[in-house]
A and B are shown apart, each in its own frame.
Chain A
């Protein structure tokens, strides 16, 4: 029997974080993500966790890295301008391998943009916002139930890979009340991962010596005997800075590799009526909800449309997109931006079929009939 509860998107995110073991939250008020902070302020003290409101977004991200070093599962949530401010510390977290979850409840951008309206304009920023080469897992739920699943999954991958994970929400999803089957979130019914701890005695301990999975077992700072050093500079296994070219190259390659090699396991998509589809719609988040309806409407009109909803946005499902491209006549990528993920879809499809776009950045959602129109146009052979 399903146990149904009506949940508010942003609150669901906070509740799931607690379930995943999050015991530290540092944040700063910003629309439309503030309710996550408010909920965490209420829930964390009851779990003997820590909630801190910091003086700005930069400090909030800094505190998250610090708490992660100290051994706590840590999180922050923000939106547009706040996500931009967090970027330097997000890059630091990637470099020093501090597991944490950063939620970005996307609003319309750039700059102040459209604070109370939806946008999907941080697809690229989630990955490339902070300077330097990197690969950060980015998850993108499409309903409130999935907000809970993906929040837990974000913490699990952050811990497993010792990396920041970005969770992208749409403003309309964060502010949506929807039925959630909470049975799967009962204790023991879902997976919880914790970061690995060193299995060597202190005298053999090198904080940044990676295991076979390319992930180092860094002891929480302050663990007696396990002395460590962390720096945003390139570093060797000791954690101390190095300019040794081989070591620097190996570090960056490993940081990217440790995420990339888990891509198949991390990949998550939803396929809807794709078996015989001739036109595939590839999208994510709430735009996929409109796309799903558009698929049904198109099929009523005799157009074989299908949907691939990407949940793990980065690392992208390269092979899957290529396979989809090979099996259809055209791909349409509707997104609430001026064309971001479409670039990745074009790359992954390797010219197997034409890729069309449907873009919008005016704070309005894309409606099913608009996607339908585009699908019909493509079916007619136009674009």
Chain B
């Protein structure tokens, strides 16, 4: 596996990045305040700056539906949708065929191309999990990007295994006897890392420099990478459209969404808030957690805080254990 020589390649400053042409065309039908388009545009900025052409396989979900309402498309790149459960399998085929055609001299060999599979949390954590795991294990040269908005938003806010405990969803609704989802969120990037792949990172569009640095590494990685991106959903989270990036920031500042990476087996927490904010700061701006602020539910917030602390400590331990001497 080729070593990532990321430090030698610099992502240009933001001002320069905005000069590149938009590859995700406006006019798509994602909701106001949706985090997904921000994530995709940040990905394109890095790819543009580094001269990569992106080829996408998009799982069924909000992005797929909203960016490709026939006869329109927002994608100024080759893009394929197959089904809900198989973005990683589809990109596996595309990548393998591309390699074969290149080998046979039927495609130019000097082009910088990267294959990306894009899925929401449903298409990644749940129904697309088997396909993702297979592609990571086979070692295709691709990046899997999950825009994690923590529920099935495309079909109407049903819970997923990425939904945090106590969030209100239509299939684990809050009521007089129910506090919403009963299980904690799956630690998906950690699961991806357990495949022993060269690069895994968790990112948030609020911390764009960190995001870009990580996506740059993913681009430069030969073999599979997995990127888990925090994606606000004002519709599903019952949050204000204009507060998306603020909520993303709070997710990071409360350690709810730790920014970390796993590079060739070495774990690194890439941002450590000096004084982490209590999780309430993150929860209180979202209607999906409204019930937790009713008297008597203080313990539930504490429980979420403990889960955050548990993961945070675990990540820091992993960092310590795998630190280069």
Measured CB to CB, the residues of A under 8 A from B are 27-31, 34-35, 37-38, 41-42, 45, 51, 53, 55-57, 81, 85, 111-112
Check A38 against B126 for contact (C-beta < 8 Å): no
Q: List 5 A-B contacts (CB under 8 A).
A: A28-B127, A38-B156, A45-B178, A51-B171, A55-B126
B260 at the interface (CB under 8 A from A): no
Check B85 against A55 for contact (C-beta < 8 Å): no
The minimal Cβ–Cβ distance linking B323 to chain A, given in whole angstroms, is 35
Task: Choose one: A28, A42, A53, A111; the contact of B83 (CB below 8 Å).
Answer: A111
Task: Choose one: A29, A45, A81; the contact of B156 (CB below 8 Å).
Answer: A29
The minimal Cβ–Cβ distance linking A66 to chain B, given in whole angstroms, is 18
B177 at the interface (CB under 8 A from A): yes
The number of residues on chain B lying at the interface, defined by a beta carbon within 8 Å of a beta carbon of chain A, is 24
A29-B171, A41-B172, A55-B161 given as contacts; is B156 within 8 A of A34 (CB)?
yes
Check A56 against B126 for contact (C-beta < 8 Å): yes
CA A35 to CA B173, docked complex, whole Å: 13
Note all chain A residues with C-beta closer than 8 A to B154.
31
Check A29 against B81 for contact (C-beta < 8 Å): no
Seed contacts A57-B127, A85-B85; 4 additional CB < 8 Å A-B pairs: A29-B156, A29-B158, A51-B171, A56-B126
Task: Choose one: B85, B171, B177; the contact of A41 (CB below 8 Å).
Answer: B171
A38-B170, A45-B177, A112-B60 given as contacts; is B85 within 8 A of A56 (CB)?
yes
CA A367 to CA B158, docked complex, whole Å: 34
Note all chain B residues with C-beta closer than 8 A to A28.
127
What's the A-B contact tally at a CB cutoff of 8 Å?
52
Which of B84, B122, B177 gathers the greatest number of chain A CB atoms within 10 Å? Answer: B84
Measured CB to CB, the residues of B under 8 A from A are 60, 81, 83-85, 122, 125-127, 129, 152, 154-156, 158-159, 161, 170-173, 175, 177-178
Note all chain A residues with C-beta closer than 8 A to B152.
29
Check A29 against B83 for contact (C-beta < 8 Å): no
Task: Choose one: B122, B125, B129, B173; the contact of A29 (CB below 8 Å).
Answer: B122
A28-B127, A45-B178, A111-B83 given as contacts; is B172 within 8 A of A53 (CB)?
yes
Check B158 against A37 for contact (C-beta < 8 Å): yes
CA A271 to CA B158, docked complex, whole Å: 41
CA A56 to CA B171, docked complex, whole Å: 14
Nearest chain-A residue to B128 (Cβ)? A56
Check B173 against A34 for contact (C-beta < 8 Å): no
Nearest chain-B residue to A25 (Cβ)? B171
CA A114 to CA B122, docked complex, whole Å: 20
